Amino acid sequence: MRSVLDRQLHPAESTQTGIASRQAVLAAAQQLIQEQGYAGLSMRELARRSGLAKATIYHHFQDKRDVLLSVFEHDIRTVAERIAEAAATPGSHAQRLRAVIAAYFAIQVERRMVILNAIRETVGLEDQIWAIIRAHRDDLLRPIMSILQDAIAAGVARPVNVELAVMALFGMIHSFVTHRLLIDGNDFTAEMEEFVLEMFLHALHIPADRSAHATPAPVAPLHTTDTE
Amino acid sequence: MRSVLDRQLHPAESTQTGIASRQAVLAAAQQLIQEQGYAGLSMRELARRSGLAKATIYHHFQDKRDVLLSVFEHDIRTVAERIAEAAATPGSHAQRLRAVIAAYFAIQVERRMVILNAIRETVGLEDQIWAIIRAHRDDLLRPIMSILQDAIAAGVARPVNVELAVMALFGMIHSFVTHRLLIDGNDFTAEMEEFVLEMFLHALHIPADRSAHATPAPVAPLHTTDTE
Amino acid sequence: MRSVLDRQLHPAESTQTGIASRQAVLAAAQQLIQEQGYAGLSMRELARRSGLAKATIYHHFQDKRDVLLSVFEHDIRTVAERIAEAAATPGSHAQRLRAVIAAYFAIQVERRMVILNAIRETVGLEDQIWAIIRAHRDDLLRPIMSILQDAIAAGVARPVNVELAVMALFGMIHSFVTHRLLIDGNDFTAEMEEFVLEMFLHALHIPADRSAHATPAPVAPLHTTDTE
Amino acid sequence: MRSVLDRQLHPAESTQTGIASRQAVLAAAQQLIQEQGYAGLSMRELARRSGLAKATIYHHFQDKRDVLLSVFEHDIRTVAERIAEAAATPGSHAQRLRAVIAAYFAIQVERRMVILNAIRETVGLEDQIWAIIRAHRDDLLRPIMSILQDAIAAGVARPVNVELAVMALFGMIHSFVTHRLLIDGNDFTAEMEEFVLEMFLHALHIPADRSAHATPAPVAPLHTTDTE
DNA sequence: GATGAATGAGTGTTCATTCAT
DNA sequence: TATGAATGAACACTCATTCAT
């Protein structure tokens, strides 16, 4: 009966099968949310997909909210990891930003869902979701903010509010991802990545570094347990 | 029974009271969506708020989808009008962009809903919503694209894909609006508007024009019929 | 959608079929409660018995609480009527008390449920049930209290707190009814009635009047609409 | 797995902790029933309160029915003890009746539940509950019946069916307790006790004995194991 | 144009109980 | 003795929609 709201339990106490069931639910939930949005997450369907009885889900999670929050937290954490990884790419500021942008693009497209923007669906849940977001927002933004701070300190970028700059960067990416997923459908990812990078570099006066394209870290599918 | 999908009917056939009822439904729907998101739009509540019986709503709309689509179309049209209005502000390119940004910010905040991003909630409706968006996307983007094209033609801005640039601009704004509405709550609108404008101008190499702040067109509440 | 909590609607507005359905639900509910107690009143079963769909019940009643309260109020009102009727029997004080006792015995046995005592089952409902009980308690007690006041004024009975005396009378009857219904099963009603009357008359020093047995008013089944 | 229905097991087989667990369950059950009525006794909550796992309860009791019946039997036994104790008060018949009435009042109020009347909630359980009641009814009634028989034999009371008389007495008390607990809330216990005693004495023509108020035996909380 | 009545399918959640360990 | 895991059946209630009037 581990839950997002109940973290004091040590994770090793659960039996092997117990953990497996719990993760089966989370995996099914993640998949359902990707396919049908938050509103599409019905406990009935979740039970069907996870291969468990409805009542069994309630053995592992307090309620639907708890499932949702667990998925949400796991996801935001995974995204933060991916971004941090990409930001750690060696190379020039431009190269590192390119890697970050590519990674974030990849994650968003891969999941058909934009975490930060998808919040709006979850009206009655907002209070608890805020807490999770506030707790992880820094992890999400910090690696990129660091790059910008470095660049500014090095005199390579003009001085700006780096937090706002990163938010602006995320916004641009969201916009293109949404467009690609919902409107156009064609894959102009490479082109869009290039455009976003260029806009961002120009906005901050960072010189483009076209000598070599940084190879973005390969993006593993979410909810794989091997990286945890 | 006029509906979005049923436009061949001539508009004069409805009685005075008929039109009034239809608009009462639309107004109630718009209000409900703002308050509770798309998922919060239940026919029961819609009936209660509009003062009509549930069955009566089905006289004016084919089904819930039809109500949703009607609201959606009306809204996107209103937003397009506001943007066009703001883009028509006389002044330098920078001033006009400032007006556009301010207007878009105002609309989004005013409604607690970001149209383009909110689409994701409406899985299953997407097909029909796409049609509406595709039909109106140009109206939304064109006025701002024009400004950029002018600026580029005048040698004031560097040459870029103007469509992508406008999408990037919208994305940045969405990002800040979301943050303000859901995470922070404090009103840093002025600061954020300034930041977005500055980022965008720098990204396009458009010289800032601080001689005078363009006064954005006053934003009327949506769903007022007087402007139609 | 008339409900206990929603009395301002004028009763004539409902259609004939609407009223019929509402009463079918109330009748089924009354029957179920008799058979299985308050806890046995499931909406599922209520739908089955009343021949309506579950959702239809919610068209006529706000929720289960509303059904329960409606039945409860109707019942307590009916009991009050029966008692008032019996108390109006012409004859000596002893005769009238005998009539009242017989009537109350009959009602309780007929229904397998003792209203005033059965309250205890309805823990979470108590607040609203209290309101109904307080509103009707006087109607229940007053007719019998009148008999006692008359008897006291006439010097026939010793002076006592008549309200407490009537409560004591009800308590004795409940005790015997419970015993008969749940423990013994045999019908000693006549004997028990006689015993209760005798105890009560002695307790108040009212001389027994054995000249003629008052014929108790015939007890019609509850929930018949002809008396409303 | 000792249970009410399974008495052939020799009591010494249980370990010390086993007995403790069993009684923890009974104590929690008793408390839950007091607070929420019979319907409020859920195995889940029972597990939580008793500090045991749900499955463990099934080691000590066959099923929920068994728990209920065990509590019920323990309670009725305790009540019988208290009454016998009070009836053994030395003094006149009136004094002993006063002691009995006070004791019974105290028990009922203390528990917010009237055993004999509360049965009605437990439809479907009735068959087994009857058995318990029949087995203990005599223990409950006999001490008071004895007082009356003494009084009649001594020519102090008029001759009546003493069993019915005691049932009538219990009924009066239940009525006042119910009223106090559910309707009025104020504590008129002393006044009500006096009234009941007076009614009963008059009903049986037992002379009141106001020389000294018998001090009722102090009422210990139920489910204490020290008195067993 | 308007509505009360009605409904099947679905919502999330709790129930008492079983079983392998 | 003890328990985590699991479950089918039930729970009260809401959904968007239809239809006769």
DSSP letters, D69-117, are: HHHHHHHHHHHHHHHHHHHT--S-HHHHHHHHHHHHHHHHHHHT--HHH
Tokens 């008897």 sit on residue: C151
Main-chain phi, psi angles of B3, to 5 degrees: -145, 170
Question: DSSP secondary structure string, chain A?
Answer: --BTTBTTS-GGGS-HHHHHHHHHHHHHHHHHHHHH-GGG--HHHHHHHHTS-HHHHHHHSSSHHHHHHHHHHHHHHHHHHHHHHHHT--S-HHHHHHHHHHHHHHHHHHHT--HHHHGGG-GGGHHHHHHHHHHHHHHHHHHHHHHHHHHHHTTSS----HHHHHHHHHHHHHHHHHIIIIII-S--HHHHHHHHHHHHHHHHTPPP--S-PPPPPP-PPTT-GGG-
Rg, Å, chain A Cα set: 19
- Tell me the average pLDDT of chain B: 81
Residue (of A140, A156, A168) closest to A206 by Cα position: A156
Cβ neighbour number for residue C154 with a 10 Å cutoff: 10
Tokens of D71: 């509590």
Cα dihedral sign, C65-C69-C75-C76: positive
pLDDT for A199 beyond 90: yes
Q: Under CATH, which number does the domain A69-227 receive?
A: 1.10.357.10
Chains B and A touch (3+ CB pairs under 8 A): yes
For residue A173, give every residue at least 6 positions away whose Cβ sits within 8 Å of its Cβ, in sequence order, or none.
A101, A104, A105, A108, A196, B171
pLDDT digits (tens, 9 = 90+) for C130-157: 778 778 888 889 999 999 999 999 999 9
Q: Same CATH topology for B11-65 and B69-227?
A: no
- Tell me the CATH class for D71-227: mainly alpha
Q: Give the one of D173, D178, D196 whose C-beta lies nearest to C116's C-beta.
A: D178
Chains D and C touch (3+ CB pairs under 8 A): yes
Q: Give the one of A120, A164, A175 whose C-beta lies nearest to B171's C-beta.
A: A175
Which residues in B lie closer than 8 A to residue A175 (C-beta atoms)? Answer: 116, 167-168, 170-172, 174
pLDDT digits (tens, 9 = 90+) for D95-137: 999 999 999 888 877 776 545 445 555 555 667 777 787 788 8
Beta bridge partners of B3: B6
Tokens of D223: 């489910």
Q: Closest residue of C to D182, CA-based?
A: C130
Domain boundaries, chain D: 11-65, 71-227
Report which of residues A226 and B48 the model is more confident about.
B48
Whether B123 sits inside 8 A of A39 (CB atoms) is: yes
Tokens of C204: 């108040």
C23: CB within 7 A of chain E nucleic strand: no
CB D39 within 8 A of CB D80: no
Tokens 């910008």 sit on residue: A148
Tokens 């309620």 sit on residue: A63
Query: How far is it, in rounded angstroms, from Cα D164 to Cα D204?
Result: 12
Q: Please give the CATH superfamily to which domain C11-62 belongs.
A: Homeodomain-like (1.10.10.60)
pLDDT for D61 beyond 60: yes
Tokens of C213: 């047995």
Q: What is the average pLDDT across A42-51? A: 96
- Best D182, D184, D188 member to test C by mutation, with max C CBs in 10 Å, is D182
Report which of residues C203 and B211 the model is more confident about.
C203
**Which nucleotide lies nearest residue D58, CA to C1'?**
E17
Give the distance, in angstroms, between residue A61 CA and nucleotide E20 C1': 22
3-state secondary structure of B6: strand
Q: How far is B127 from chain A (nearest CA, A)?
A: 9
Widest Cα–Cα separation across chain D: 60
Chains A and D touch (3+ CB pairs under 8 A): no
Give the distance, in angstroms, between residue D223 CA and nucleotide F7 C1': 35
pLDDT digits (tens, 9 = 90+) for D1-50: 555 545 444 444 445 577 889 999 999 998 888 887 777 789 999 999 99
Tokens of D58: 């099934």
Q: Under CATH, which number does the domain B11-65 receive?
A: 1.10.10.60
CB B197 within 8 A of CB B97: yes
**Which nucleotide lies nearest residue D56, CA to C1'?**
F2
- Best A72, A202, A204 member to test B by mutation, with max B CBs in 10 Å, is A202
Q: What is the average pLDDT across B31-43? A: 84
- Residue B14 pLDDT grade (very low, low, confident, very high; cuts 50, 70, 90): very low
Give the distance, in angstroms, between residue C34 CA and nucleotide E18 C1': 33
Give the pLDDT score at B136: 87
Which fold is adopted by the domain C71-218? Answer: Tetracycline Repressor; domain 2 (1.10.357)
Which residues in C lie closer than 8 A to residue D200 (C-beta atoms)? Answer: 203
CB C32 within 8 A of CB C40: yes
